């Protein structure tokens, strides 16, 4: 039975870009029994909608499996790789360098127990 498609699902092109960034299964461990693409689609659904893990639609893989991958990949920096790679692709399509070339600095006063200090926040300029 095919599942319903969601607006958060990865396109074939996005999957082609991201699939090589996913860490391989541990050697000697069990082979994955769940489609990794469906794991990604489930995680993106959760991130975009903000739903609780136990509120994932029933046509996604089991929430415990999805959360396990999410947590493991978060610890291995996979999400940063995904965002960096897809962000670079978007910038490239817009005819820009894959790396941002400018930053905006914003400062604000910060109250502490002892002194007032400055907090500098660096933000990537998106145009």
- At residue 38, does pLDDT exceed 80? yes
Q: How crowded is residue 47: how many other Cβ atoms within 10 Å of its Cβ? A: 12
The pLDDT score that the predictor gives to residue 3 is 85
Residue 117 lies inside a defined structural domain of this protein = no
State the total domains in the chain.
Answer: 1
Residue 57 lies inside a defined structural domain of this protein = yes
- Please name the residues in contact with 73: beta carbons below 8 A apart, sequence gap of 6 or more: 22, 23, 79
Residue 51 lies inside a defined structural domain of this protein = yes
The pLDDT score that the predictor gives to residue 116 is 52
Residue 52 lies inside a defined structural domain of this protein = yes
Give the SS3 label for residue 72. helix
CA 91/CA 57 separation, integer angstroms: 32
Q: How confident is the model at residue 70 (pLDDT cuts 50, 70, 90)?
A: very high
| % of the chain with per-residue pLDDT over 90 | 35
The pLDDT score that the predictor gives to residue 87 is 76
**b/e sequence 111-123, b meaning 16+ C-beta within 10 Å:** eeeeeeeeeeeee
Q: What angle do CA 72, 78, 84 make, to 5 degrees?
A: 160
Average pLDDT (14-31) is: 82
Between 35 and 32, the higher pLDDT residue:
35
Q: Which domain, by its residues, includes 87?
A: 33-94
Residue 105 lies inside a defined structural domain of this protein = no
Report whether 45 contacts 60 (CB < 8 A).
yes
């Amino acid at each position: 039975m095919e599942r319903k498609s969601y607006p958060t699902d990865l396109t074939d092109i996005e999957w082609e870009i991201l699939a090589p960034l996913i860490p391989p299964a541990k050697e000697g461990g069990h082979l994955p029994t769940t489609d990794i693409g469906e794991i990604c689609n489930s995680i993106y659904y959760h991130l975009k909608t903000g739903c609780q893990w136990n509120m994932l639609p029933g046509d996604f893989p089991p929430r415990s499996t999805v959360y396990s991958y999410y947590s493991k990949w978060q610890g291995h920096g996979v999400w940063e790789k995904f965002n960096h790679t897809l962000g670079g692709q978007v910038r490239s399509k817009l005819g820009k360098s894959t790396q941002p070339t400018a930053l905006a600095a914003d400062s604000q006063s910060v109250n502490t127990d002892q002194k007032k200090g400055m907090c500098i926040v660096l933000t990537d300029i998106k145009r």
